[in-house]
Every structure is written in C-alpha cells, then in structure tokens.
C-alpha cells in the first residue's frame, strides 16, 4: 500500500481503491478523488464545499485556525503596512513583487486605462436614480464586453492581459460613476496625475465647483481596505468567477457574475449590514439585548461582522482595520465616535460570551471596514461596491490562473432527491 494514499473500501462490494494524497506548500493535504466515480460509480456529497478543494491555486493561502492570510506567500500584515495597492495588484497577477521598473510600467499601464468608453456613461442613464449601486455595477461590468469586444478571446494571452488591465483600471471609475449617478451629481473623469486610490476618492467625492482635498491618513486607510480585500482564495464570489469563466465566457461577464455573488449579506454585503446593525442597536446599554438575540436559534438575527466560514480565530484583516479605524477617527477629531464605541463594546462582550467563544466567532474584515468608510464619507450602500473594486484584481488573477491551467468547464454533480421517473399526467387526471 503506497504511503501517500488513502484507501477507500466499499463495504457493499468489498472493492478497495487507493487514492493519491497531494500536499501543497501550506495547509492540509488533499485526497485526489478525480477517479472516484470511475472506480466506484459513486459521487461524493459536500454541500457548501466544506471539505472540498475545487482547484489548485498559487495565489492566496488562508490558515483559518491560526488566523493567517498570505498573498503569494507574503503575510497580509506586511503588505498592509508597507505596500501600495497597485503593488499588491502586480503581486497577485504575476506572483512576485515588482521591481522599480516593473512597478512604474505597471502603474503607467493601469493609469492609461482609467477612462471609460464615453458611450458607457449613457448606459448609466438607463438606471433609476434610486438603484442600488451594486445593481448598477453588475450591469455595467457585464456590459463592458459590449464595449471592449476587441479583446475577448480568452485563449489569447494578449487579450487576457488587455482585459485584465481594463477591469483593474476602470473598476474605480465605474464604481465612482455608480455613486455619482445615484446622488445626481455629474460624473467625474479620472485625474491620471493622482495615485490609484486617491484618484478613486477624487472621482467619488469631487465636484466641478470645489477643490478636492483629503487627508493622507484617510487615503492610506482606503488603500489598506483595498489591499485587505484584494483576494481571499476560493470564496463564494471567486468560485463564481472561476466557474463562470470555466465555460470560456469572457472575463467581463465572469467578473459581473462575481459581483452578483459578492452582493449578499453573508459575503460582501456584510459590511453594509454591520453599520445597519450598529445603527439599530444605537446605544451601549442595548448591546446585551442584541447579544441575546444573536444567540437565540429561533431568532434569525446574527451579529453581522462576526464569524467566518474559514477563520475560526481573529480575522487578521479585522485587526488591521481596527487600528486603522482608531487612526482615521483620531485624524477627524472623532476619537469618541459613538458608533465606534458601540462596536468596541459589542466585540468585547461577544468575546467574553461562551456562545461566541465556543463557536470561535470573532470579528471579521467587515466589522471595522464600514466604520472607516463611513468616517471617510462613503454611504452604507457603497461599502460592497468598494469591496468589489478591491476584489476585482483577485477575481482577475484567479480567472487567469484557471484559464492558464486549462482546467476545462466546471460541472458539480448532485444527489437527486426529487420525484422518481414517472409518466406525464394529463390535466384531466391531475388532482
Ligand atoms: N452571529 C451569531 N451566531 C453565529 C454567527 C453570527 N454572526 N455566525 C455563526 N453563528 C453560529 C451559527 O448559528 C452556528 O451555531 P450552531 O452551531 O448553534 O448551529 C455556529 O455559529 C456555526 O456557524 P456556521 O453557520 O457553521 O458558520 P458558517 O461558516 O456557515 O457561516 C458566516 C459563516 C460568515 C456566513 C456566518 O458566520 C455569518 O452569517 N456571519 C455574519 C455575516 C458576516 O459577517 N459575513 C461576512 C463574512 S466575512 C467577509 C467575506 O469574506 O465575504
């Protein structure tokens, strides 16, 4: 019996088959069950993929028990402290940190693609003014394939590169325009003299009639938010992008599918839900009541920004953002911000409570990101849009990796539990 194998025996027939165990560079090994059906005529059942690796990847690693997150091997804490967002984009896309010359070239290319085809701005005007900006994002990003159809051959390296740059360069412009449209202000064209992050904030907040100014502390906090959200291995939206892209759909369509998956409150929409929850709780003395509700299995209420599918420890991103929230609020002279105080109190009580301790429920990335964004002046309904701006590079990197690995179309199987095969019932025979 080979050492690096797992033997599975079908007790019905006595058949035994060895399956190879593959080790990665980090994390638990995996059993390769590609031939499982061929050998046994059985599928495996794993709803929600709690035990299933859907692909091999070199991009991001999470150790959920230890609270570790690495992009291409680099700890998130170091990237958040020392790097700029475009550097992280380069790293995720190419596997290595750029040298000076590579960085300059990369930033120049990203900067040169920030404008949108003018016709896209007309596309926005078809939306209602009160549309959720994520609804606009899903539509506009999907529609990019109608405007940039010169680079849609997913098998052509150059086309993949051009589409990748277009998505990463234009997503802040698209996001800012979604916001401007929803508040009835004129679209702001990108200013390519500014850095990626400052330019994004400029397009969000400037108006033609006033000079735009923002503290570097706030710009850096936004940069950290983008770095921390840039990738997170095979989460729901990334898996969606990979699966949509596996049909060889163009990357704009696949990215739009990812935005749809990100929107939900169990994923990217949680940052919006955290601030809604804090606004509902309102004061520190009501915290125990909401903790009780979160613990009650009959009550659908959950502590938003708490718990994670993978992290069973403090989310390392939340720790960085908690510090950034302190810095931003101090910079704005709002060290006593009541919502921040409420969040700190909620975290403290939850971390002392047996229910949360036993289930290893800690603050996740969304718990503090909304507080920072709100302090910067970003409205709640834009939080998930900011997440999408940051995650675009992760989606693109994962999509490229999937296409370049030649994985073929994804096609999960199922355990069918519906009606067995039966004859058609004519209307007169139905009860
Ligand atoms: N509040 C109260 N109880 C919770 C919470 C919570 N936020 N999260 C999990 N639990 C309970 C859950 O009810 C279950 O209890 P029991 O064992 O008694 O049935 C136990 O903890 C285990 O939870 P689970 O459902 O197995 O956890 P999961 O891995 O399926 O869900 C989650 C993870 C993120 C969907 C969930 O924790 C949640 O809904 N959190 C709130 C929403 C949120 O903050 N989402 C953002 C995730 S981070 C951003 C991102 O990466 O997209």
User: pLDDT tens digits for 374-384?
Assistant: 999 999 999 99
Count of CA atoms in the C-beta half-sphere (13 A) of 349: 17
User: Within 6 Å (CB) of ligand 1, which residues are found?
Assistant: 232, 235, 266-268, 270, 294, 302-309, 359, 361, 364-366
Q: Which residues pair with 62 in a beta bridge?
A: 69
Beta-carbon contacts of residue 404 (< 8 Å; ≥ 6 apart): none
Q: Give the Å distances, CA to CA, from 380 to 132, 277, 282, 373, 428.
A: 11, 11, 16, 8, 54
> What DSSP designation does 68 have?
E
* Distance from the alpha carbon of residue 61 to the mean position of ligand 1, in angstroms: 21
Q: What is the SS3 assignment for 299?
A: coil
What pLDDT is recorded for position 63? 96
What pLDDT is recorded for position 91? 98
Order the strands of the 74-75 sheet from edge to edge: 60-63, 68-71, 74-75
What distance in Å separates the CA atoms of residue 361 and residue 305, rounded to the nearest whole number?
10
Q: Which residue is listed with tokens 């050998």?
A: 39
Predicted TM-score of the model (pTM)? 0.94
Q: What is the SS3 assignment for 250?
A: coil
Atom 34 in ligand 1: residue holding the nearest Cα? 308
* Distance from the alpha carbon of residue 398 to the mean position of ligand 1, in angstroms: 25
CA dihedral 122, 126, 131, 137 (to 10 degrees): -50
Secondary structure of the chain: what % helix, strand, coil (to 5)?
Answer: 55, 5, 40
Q: Can 308 be counted among the known catalytic residues?
A: yes
The helix (run of H) or strand (run of E) holding residue 9 is strand 5-9
* Distance from the alpha carbon of residue 430 to the mean position of ligand 1, in angstroms: 43
What pLDDT is recorded for position 1? 65
Q: Is the sign of the CA dihedral 239, 240, 245, 251 positive or negative? A: negative
Task: Report CA 413 to chain centroid distance, whole Å.
Answer: 25
What distance in Å separates the CA atoms of residue 199 and residue 185, rounded to the nearest whole number?
17
Helix (H) and strand (E) counts in the chain: 18, 6
What pLDDT is recorded for position 268? 86
What distance in Å separates the CA atoms of residue 330 and residue 86, rounded to the nearest whole number?
27
Q: Which residues pair with 18 in a beta bridge?
A: 7
Q: Give the Å distances, CA to CA, from 407 to 161, 248, 292, 365.
A: 19, 11, 47, 31
Q: Give the Å distances, CA to CA, from 216 to 195, 198, 221, 224, 332.
A: 12, 9, 8, 12, 12
Under 8 Å between Cβ of 384 and 268: yes
Low-confidence ranges of the chain (pLDDT < 50): none
What pLDDT is recorded for position 270? 86
Q: Is the sign of the CA dihedral 95, 199, 180, 282 positive or negative? A: positive
Q: Probe ligand 1: pick from 307, 347, 357, max atoms within 8 Å of CB? A: 307
Give CA angle at 197 (192, 198), nearest 5°. 65
Q: Can 63 be counted among the known catalytic residues?
A: no
* Distance from the alpha carbon of residue 279 to the mean position of ligand 1, in angstroms: 20
What distance in Å separates the CA atoms of residue 404 and residue 123, rounded to the nearest whole number?
33
Atom 10 in ligand 1: residue holding the nearest Cα? 307
């Amino acid at each position: 019996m080979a050492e690096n194998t797992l033997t599975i025996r079908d007790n019905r027939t006595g058949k035994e088959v060895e399956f190879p165990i593959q080790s990665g560079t980090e994390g638990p090994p995996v059993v390769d069950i590609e031939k499982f059906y061929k050998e046994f005529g059985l599928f495996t059942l794993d709803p929600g993929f709690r035990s299933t690796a859907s692909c091999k990847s070199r991009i991001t690693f999470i150790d959920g028990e230890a609270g570790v997150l690495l992009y291409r091997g680099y700890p998130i804490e170091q990237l958040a402290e020392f790097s700029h967002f475009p550097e992280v984009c380069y790293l995720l896309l190419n596997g290595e940190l750029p040298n000076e010359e590579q960085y300059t070239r990369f930033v120049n290319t990203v900067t040169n693609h920030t404008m949108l085809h003018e016709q896209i701005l007309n596309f926005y005007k078809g939306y209602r003014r009160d549309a959720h900006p994520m609804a606009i994002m899903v539509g506009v990003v999907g529609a990019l394939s109608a405007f940039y159809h010169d680079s849609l051959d997913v098998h052509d390296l150059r086309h993949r590169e051009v589409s990748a740059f277009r998505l990463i360069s234009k997503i802040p412009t698209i996001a800012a325009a979604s916001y401007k449209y929803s508040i009835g202000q004129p679209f702001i064209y990108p200013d390519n003299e500014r850095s990626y992050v400052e330019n994004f904030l400029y397009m969000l907040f400037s108006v033609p009639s006033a000079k735009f100014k923002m503290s570097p502390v706030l710009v850096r906090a936004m940069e950290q938010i983008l770095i921390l959200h840039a990738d997170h291995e095979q989460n729901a939206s990334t898996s969606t992008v990979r699966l949509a892209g596996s049909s060889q759909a163009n990357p704009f369509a696949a990215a739009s599918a990812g935005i749809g998956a990100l929107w939900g409150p169990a994923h990217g929409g949680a940052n919006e839900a955290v601030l809604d929850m804090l606004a509902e709780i309102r004061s520190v003395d009501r915290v125990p009541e909401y903790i009780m509700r979160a613990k009650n299995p009959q009550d659908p209420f959950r502590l938003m920004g708490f718990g994670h599918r993978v992290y069973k420890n403090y989310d390392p991103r939340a720790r960085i953002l908690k510090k950034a929230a302190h810095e931003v609020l101090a910079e704005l002279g709002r060290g006593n911000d009541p919502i921040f105080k409420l969040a700190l109190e909620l975290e403290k009580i939850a971390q002392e409570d047996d229910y949360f301790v036993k289930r290893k429920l800690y603050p996740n990335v969304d718990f503090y990101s909304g507080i920072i964004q709100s302090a910067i002046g970003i409205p709640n309904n834009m939080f998930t849009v900011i997440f999408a701006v940051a995650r675009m590079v992760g989606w693109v990197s994962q999509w490229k990796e999937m296409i370049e690995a030649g994985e073929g179309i994804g096609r999960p199987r199922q355990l069918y539990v519906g009606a067995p095969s039966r004859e058609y019932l004519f209307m007169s025979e139905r009860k």
